[in-house]
Structure 1
Amino acid sequence: MNTPPEPRQAIALTYDGKQAPTLTAKGDDALAEAILALAREHHVPIYENAELVKLLARMELGDSIPQELYRTLAEIIAFAWMLKGKYPQGFDPESEPVERDVTPR
């Protein structure tokens, strides 16, 4: 039994560094491709995670991300900033990485 493929989805978030990230765009198929093309055009890092997109696509445009996803999105935003060479004030990218326990709880 063949099931049709799920539509390609994309979402866009805006983060000002003060408030929780907000959903600013979402779409399937052609609109998803347009969102991704616009991100590429403006050198916005793209993070692919289909399950996270499905969760966030349920939100309404302008909604802030739910508190349960703060840590996940914070790690993605931090990674995107590092890709662009941006770091928080006082952070030394040359210092040794801090080890932390990543054991699931």
Structure 2
Amino acid sequence: MSYEKKEKPKTAVALAYDPNEDGAPKVIASGKGVLAEKIIEQAKENKIPVHEDDKLAETLSKLEIGEMIPPELYEVVAEILVFVDAMDKIKAKERSKK
């Protein structure tokens, strides 16, 4: 007898954060399956860094669009924002070399 492990559909959540306007990052897009793939595709097309964390995506997907992340997620999301900032600095450095 063979059991196939059914793969869970991918989950994607897009966050936006403007420190001048927002108290915390907020959810601007969220989806599973095909919609998640489209969110990821749009991010890559627009050169927006993508960070993969299945558990965090699952947790954030429970929030409503426009809802700010809860305080208990600040630390982990801050780590992602540091990653995104580092990626932006690397890209800027590469552009300045051209």
TM-score interval for Structure 1 and Structure 2 normalised by the shorter chain: 0.7 to 0.9
In the alignment, the residues of structure 2 paired with residue 79 and residue 30 of structure 1 have an alpha-carbon distance, to the nearest angstrom, of 26
1:9 aligns with 2:11: yes
Inter-partner Cα distance in structure 2 for 1:75 and 1:30: 27
**Equivalent pairs, count:** 86
Structure 1 counterpart of 2:56: 52
Instruction: Report the TM-score when normalising by structure 2.
Output: 0.82
Alpha-carbon offset, residue 3 of structure 1: 4.2
What value does the CA root-mean-square deviation take over the aligned residues?
1.4
Distance 2:42 2:70 in 1: 25
TM-score w.r.t. structure 1 length?
0.76
Runs of 4+ in 1 over 6 A off after TM superposition: none
5+ long unaligned stretches in structure 2: 91-98
Percent identity over paired residues: 36
Letter in structure 1 aligned against 2:60:
L
